Amino acid sequence: MSVSQANQLTEENLLAGRGANFFRILEAVPYQGSGDKIKLPPSCFTELSEQGAFDKGPLHFSLSLIHQESLSGLEGPTKESFRKTHAGVLEFTAEEGFVALPMHCWSNLFPAEAPHSATVEVRYIWLPKGTYAKLQSLEYGFSDIPNHKAVLETSLRQHATLSQGDMLIVNHGVLKYHLRVLELKPSSSISVLETDIEVDNTGPEPAEREKTKYVLKPLILGKPENGVVDEGNYKYYKFTVDDDTWSKISSKNAKIVVNLESMTEDGDTDLYVSKRPLLFPTQHQHLWSSHEMGSKALVIGSDDQNLGPCNYSVAVYGFKGTTKYLLLVTTKDAEERRGGSVTNSAKGTIDAYTVECRNCRRYVPSRTIALHEAYCSRHNFVCKHAGCGVVLRVEEVESHVHCEKCGQAFQQGEIEKHMKVFHEPLHCPCGVVLEKEQMVQHQSSNCPLRLITCRFCGDMVQAGTSAADARDRIRGLSEHESLCGSRTAPCDSCGRSVMLKDMDIHQIAVHQKN
């Protein structure tokens, strides 16, 4: 490199860094962190401080992956790099000669299989505050997330920068969405700190629809939907209970009925239903389910506190073979449901003239009890299993079985499915292994991956583990809420900046407000 080229490069670096010229060539190592904040060695802090970089605002760095062969006989950090992204800084605790990259930076520098070792140029750079970002979701279903823009905003709080061409990963429960950065303004790399950005999100290419596993197909109440599902796979649908429908349900004049009819003789399906924020119900994460052999029906009324005017998701699970099915969600009027039902209002009067059979425990007229018991003892059998007492025909005894684990009664052909659905161990993405009923309870109340509403930002976020701060744990804050509540906002009464999680205490202690 000539002297004039070196001077020109220095001037460009000073201009990019607003007067600070800092770069290092470091060996990259990954660390499990969210966002785009890197870890630098302590010596970098000293050099940046001496150049006054901390007085120029938030620190931003360009990360360029250097060809390994270009390091031999290196004349300067100007050799051609083939991947580039940007990042903020988390701390200056990395080992000298190394830079620790979070997974966002690592995956954008190494989109394919990562090498055993890689050298990265870390260069201090000033970035303008972003005003616009156009993103493209690579999977269908991201727009189905309730308030998905708020979910994206929550994810961006862990970032300091965005670069055109980068892949942004947004986690929502156990689902992971990939969003590619297509366009940014006012430049191709921006700062996302302390700025309001207009975000435009586009869907994936039409050719990607068939490759996407998680897609919610709309259902119209009263209109049947045909489909095919393979064994071990799900097909997902969505429907809405509007205010008019809910007024009928809440007045107990109607109920929601979900019917699933298997159209294949040797196939079988299961039915799972959930409501938002859970978008994709599964075997171990749902509100309602049906596992009967053959046709299935779920009847949900206003007595169920989980029912309300909102959006719902339906999952058809292929339990056995490739199965054609017919799915229908409708409302059934109360008068229609009562048709055919019989009430015995005269039972008290009849009981005075009846006697209990010693075999089947049914009440029969006293004048025929002897004849009934003689016939009943020869043709009927009472199940002796504790808590059962079902009266069976003699020819039905062999097909009547009880589960060895939970004691429920089934036909012989149903016990195999019951054991697989309810007693086969299920693996939660968080690492816990439980049976179905315990797993449903775990994922609704204990799983760190379950979705909760943050009391500070109002977004649906992963609950996470317990808060790291002891005081926040006493308050019952989740891991996310502990971090989210650490943001400051001006007090409405005095204008002081107060952490969100301390705002209630501030109002009581300073302004005597309950």
Contact criterion met (CB below 8 Å) for 199 and 264: no
Q: Which of 350, 357, 364, 367 is nearest to 389 (CA)?
A: 357
- Residue identified by tokens 């991956």 is 449
What are the pLDDT digits (tens) for 433-447?
A: 988 888 888 887 888
Phi, psi of 191, rounded to the nearest 5 degrees: -95, 140
Calculate helix-pair angle for 415-422, 436-445, nearest 10 degrees. 30
Structure tokens that stand for 298 in this block:
């779920």
CA distance 83 to 262: 52
CA distance 192 to 33: 18
What are the pLDDT digits (tens) for 182-221?
A: 999 999 999 998 888 888 888 776 555 555 667 788 898 8
Q: What pTM value is reported for the model?
A: 0.58
Q: Which of 433, 434, 436, 398 is nearest to 417 (CA)?
A: 436
The Cβ-side half-sphere exposure at 398, using a 13 Å CA radius, reads 1
| Average pLDDT over every residue of 392-416 | 79
Quick one: pLDDT at residue 205? 61
The rounded mean pLDDT for the chain is 80
Contact criterion met (CB below 8 Å) for 255 and 301: yes
Q: Which of 242, 316, 240 is nearest to 283 (CA)?
A: 316
- For residue 379, give the 3-state DSSP assignment: helix
Alpha helices in 271-355 (DSSP H): 334-338, 347-351
DSSP H or E run through 340: none
DSSP H or E run through 372: helix 369-379
Task: Classify residue 16 by burial, with Cβ atoms within 10 Å: 0-12, 13-18, 19+.
Answer: middle
CA distance 80 to 93: 29
Quick one: pLDDT at residue 211? 55
Residues 6+ apart with CB under 8 A from 392: 380, 381, 382, 383, 400
Quick one: pLDDT at residue 115? 62
What are the pLDDT digits (tens) for 142-178?
A: 777 766 777 787 788 889 999 999 999 887 766 788 8
Question: Is beta strand 433-434 parallel, antiparallel or unpaired with respect to 451-453?
Answer: unpaired
| Average pLDDT over every residue of 228-252 | 90
CA distance 41 to 424: 49
What are the pLDDT digits (tens) for 241-254?
A: 999 999 988 888 88
Contact criterion met (CB below 8 Å) for 72 and 195: no
Single-letter amino acid code for the residue at 317 = Y
Q: Which of 93, 82, 207, 218 is nearest to 144 (CA)?
A: 218
Structure tokens that stand for 319 in this block:
């339990």
Task: Assign 70 a pLDDT band (cuts: 50, 70, 90).
Answer: very low
CA distance 28 to 114: 11
CA distance 107 to 255: 49
What are the pLDDT digits (tens) for 98-109?
A: 999 999 999 898
